[in-house]
């Protein structure tokens, strides 16, 4: 597994994205962590590039852009990665998944995660650090859920949520904000947790754990 190659691919992206695109990247990267941990621990079987369990199969190469939608800390379709121009990032991850499937050494995964977490905490601005806040406890704090929703639905940000405003007719509530409220509730329920407890990093990343 070429850790430096994947670090460079992630560095190129991390230093060139902002706003929603940054959230897409962080969510996708988090999903890749979860996939790699599951492969190393034998939670799933990897055949070629296809993850298999008794319940489902998922082609990591053909559906690479969807990894964040299924394994990230936010499962919103707007967070599909979709970067056809950055084939190096895709290739590095596919090779990392396959290497993990052959070796099944969780300590190798741990080392790679440490390198990439340090990269993210160094190069992603504090005001956009969704990844780090998801790792902190496995659940985004309320204010970070709000920040994510502001990026996903920038035009739907009333000062009072329709769900708590008694003067709002439920029949007139915007579909977008209904979705936002549902998504806000489901985020806490569907956030993925990383597997292990880590030492605190320089930027107070905190501890992570994997259920």
Q: Where are the beta strands (DSSP E) in the chain?
A: 45-47, 50-52, 57-59
Shared domain for 18 and 117, answered yes or no, is yes
- Count CB-CB contacts under 10 A for residue 76: 21
| pLDDT(157) > 60 | no
- Alpha-helix runs per DSSP H in 128-203: 130-137, 142-152, 175-190
Shared domain for 170 and 105, answered yes or no, is no
Mean pLDDT of 57-84: 92
Q: Helix or strand or coil: residue 153?
A: coil
pTM for the structure as a whole:
0.76
pLDDT in tens, 128-150: 999 999 986 666 889 999 999 99
Shared domain for 112 and 157, answered yes or no, is no
- Say which residue the tokens 């259920």 belong to: 211
- The span from the CA of 57 to the CA of 34, in Å, is 16
Pick from 105, 123, 140: which residue ends a domain? 140
Find the domain containing 41 and state its range. 3-140
| pLDDT(194) > 70 | no
Mean pLDDT of 20-37: 96
């Amino acid at each position: 597994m070429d850790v430096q190659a994947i670090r460079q691919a992630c560095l190129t992206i991390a230093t060139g994205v902002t706003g929603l695109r940054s959230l897409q990247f962080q969510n996708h990267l988090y999903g890749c962590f979860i996939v790699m941990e599951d492969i190393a621990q034998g939670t799933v079987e990897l055949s070629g590039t296809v993850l298999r369990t008794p319940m489902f199969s998922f082609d990591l190469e053909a559906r690479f852009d969807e990894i964040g939608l299924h394994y990230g800390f936010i499962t919103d379709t707007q967070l599909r990665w979709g970067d056809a121009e950055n084939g190096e990032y895709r290739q590095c991850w596919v090779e990392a998944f396959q290497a993990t499937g052959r070796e099944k050494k969780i300590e190798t995964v741990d080392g790679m995660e440490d390198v990439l977490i340090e990269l993210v905490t160094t190069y992603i601005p504090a005001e956009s650090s969704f990844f780090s806040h998801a790792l902190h406890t496995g659940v985004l704090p309320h204010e970070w859920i709000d920040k994510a929703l502001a990026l996903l639905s920038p035009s739907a940000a009333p000062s009072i949520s329709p769900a708590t405003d008694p003067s709002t007719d439920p029949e007139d509530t915007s579909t977008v904000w209904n979705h936002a409220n549902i998504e806000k509730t489901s985020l806490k329920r569907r956030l993925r947790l990383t597997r292990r407890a880590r030492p605190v990093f320089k930027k107070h990343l905190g501890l992570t754990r994997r259920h």
